[in-house]
Amino acid sequence: MKIRLAYTKKGEARYIAHLDLTRMLDRALRRAQIEVAFSEGFNPHPKIAFGPPLPVGVEGEQEYVDIEVKENKEQEKEAIREEAGEATEAGACDIGNIVERLQSQLPDGIKIIGAGIAVKGSKALMAVINLARYRTEAPLLRPVEAEELRKACRNWLNRDEATGIRYQQGKKIERNIRPFVKNITLISEEGVISADAQNYQVQLRLDIITGNAGSVRPVEILESLKNMEGLPVDISGVTTTREGLFIEQSDGVLRNPLEVIATI
């Protein structure tokens, strides 16, 4: 039985790197005495599959992971009934028990907020999730009117190419990041939030395309806005939260990965 969990990754947990998160979940499942199915072959590994990884230091409000757990004969029968559209109360209770036991073994900041049963043959999270939504709070080096902020975002989105810079293994890599950005919107209509006379910041929502072709980090977009449109952002003080991961359909409708399976 493959279960899909939605969870948060907040507070100190945001500093857990993706590989460490995988190991942490594996250990938590063992402590909770939840039997996970293993792959076959010379190097078996637990069947745990995450959605697109979070950059270290970024909080996640709704992340996803698929876990395939071993089934007894009765669970197998229930899974068959669920595939036929006959979800049972017993099956929901079983998932609820798994969630409760697993949650008790997870660190602070990792909280399970949703669960569902994925039918056999359903595609992996990495294969279906194609859009990530981020919220950024960026300090400004000077006061900026809302219209100036909107204009900078609009001009950037109207470009065919926008240069992003990333450093990998000490090397500076420049690339066109424009194809990865679906939209940039101003969250606060006032544009500038003033804590006092000297401190200013702007909140932006970034819809970023993700998938096998790659993606882009929010800070790369902000740096590009600063360099190409003169947005006076203090990059060193930027904080970022991933609000959610979505499946964007051909008609533009966004669905979260729990909506496409039998949720409880």
Which CA distances in Å does 246 have to 114, 217, 239? 15, 16, 21
Q: Which residues of the chain have pLDDT under 70?
A: 72-93, 188-199, 260-264
Distance CA 208, CA 206 (A): 6
Give which of 83, 107, 115 is closest to 5, Cα–Cα.
115
Radius of gyration (Cα) for the chain, nearest Å?
A: 21
- Say yes or no: domain 2-127 is CATH 3.40.50.720: no
pLDDT score at 236: 93
pLDDT score at 213: 78
Compute how many other C-beta atoms are within 10 angstroms of the C-beta atom of residue 71: 15
* Burial of residue 73 (number of CB atoms within 10 Å: 0-12, 13-18, 19+): exposed
Structural domain spans, the chain? 2-127, 130-248
pLDDT score at 232: 92
Say how far residue 146 (Cα) sits from the centre of its chain: 28
The DSSP string of the chain is -EEEEEEEE-GGGGGS-HHHHHHHHHHHHHHTTPPBPB--SSS--B-EEESSPPPTT-EEEEEEEEEEB---HHHHHHHHHHHTT---HHHHHHHHHHHHHHHTTSPTTEEEEEEEEEPTTPPPHHHH--EEEEEEEEEBSS---HHHHHHHHHHHHT-S--EEEEEETTEEEEEE-GGGEEEEEESSTTS-EESSSS-EEEEEEEEEE-STT----HHHHHHHHHHHH---B-GGG-EEEEEEEEEE-TTS-EE-TTTTSEE-
Amino acid at 236: S
Residue 180 is encoded by which pair of tokens? 């990865």
Distance CA 155, CA 43 (A): 50
Give which of 145, 115, 146, 128 is closest to 34, Cα–Cα.
115
- Chosen CATH of 130-248 out of 3.20.20.105, 3.40.190.10, 3.30.70.3190, 3.10.105.10: 3.30.70.3190
